[in-house]
Amino acid sequence: MSGQVPAEFAAWRLAWADEFNGPAGSLADPATWRPETGGHGWGNSELQCYTGETANAALDGAGNLAITVARPDLRLAAARYGGCNYTSARLITKDLKSFRYGLVQARIKLPAGRGIWPAFWMLGTDIGTAGWPGCGEIDIMENFGTSPALVHGTAHGPGYSGDGGITASLDVGTPLAADFHVYSVCWEPGKIRWYAGQTLYHTLTPAGLHGRPWVFDHDFYLLINVAVGGRLSQHPDRSTAFPQAMLIDYIRLYTPAE
């Protein structure tokens, strides 16, 4: 097993993976991933329009999925993207691939800059009936461009959502955009642990919710995206480069060996 897996899971087995191998310009596996599209702010007053175009989400031919955030010219933004000044992609596995428990891990090289908000996360598959945050949300990795070395891991549920999510962060010491890093959660019944590389930096159990509902013992699906701006982030400024991409080398699920 790769040394990228925290040592306490060395005996676990690989149960599923997407390695993002394929020709440059091709879509991520449509049997696993589909785009969510639109530019309505996504509940956070975000500035981007998520598209289904390969210009914003495609394999790079070098073993990575590239999610590219770009700034189209003003006429194109008005005609094609509903007036949004930025384009990006948000890929999800909803209704295609879901999971319950395991070590969920991705190796990612982040984009950088003020207003750039990349994330790798999970939502409960019952979101259509339970709504959000009743379905539960597990944010495996988030980064805000104004803190280039800081990774955040957060859980959201009823009574602890949005700004009130239960969160922790780790300063890895160098900008996350400088190289690939591995981000993981170990998700078990009644416990979630967050890792950056080999470092455990956040643990949550029902006791940590102080009587609020634990909504994480059911199926979840994956999401990966790059947002721009938003209520929890900041607007880009002249220092922010466009276009740029988040590169995802792989996403893997490990489970205990039987």
Coil, strand or helix: which one is 150? strand
How far apart are the C-alpha atoms of 72 and 78, rounded to whole Å? 9
Structure-block tokens of residue 166: 């239960």
CB 141 within 8 Å of CB 151: yes
Structure-block tokens of residue 204: 């949550």
How far apart are the C-alpha atoms of 29 and 10, rounded to whole Å? 28
Coil, strand or helix: which one is 199? strand
CB 227 within 8 Å of CB 42: yes
Cβ neighbour number for residue 141 with a 10 Å cutoff = 25
Query: What is the layout of strands, in order, in the sheet containing 150-156?
Result: 34-35, 90-92, 220-228, 116-124, 137-142, 150-156, 166-171
Q: Which of 8, 53, 137, 188 is catalytic?
A: 137
Q: Which of 46, 142, 188, 258 is catalytic?
A: 142
The question of whether 8 is a catalytic residue gets the answer no
Among residues 111, 91, 109, the alpha carbon closest in space to that of 50 is found at 91
The question of whether 36 is a catalytic residue gets the answer no
Q: Which residues of 9-28 are buried (b: 16+ CB within 10 A; e: fewer)?
A: beebeeeeebebebeeeebb
Q: Is the dihedral of CA 26, 117, 199, 257 positive or negative?
A: negative
Annotated catalytic residues are: 137, 142
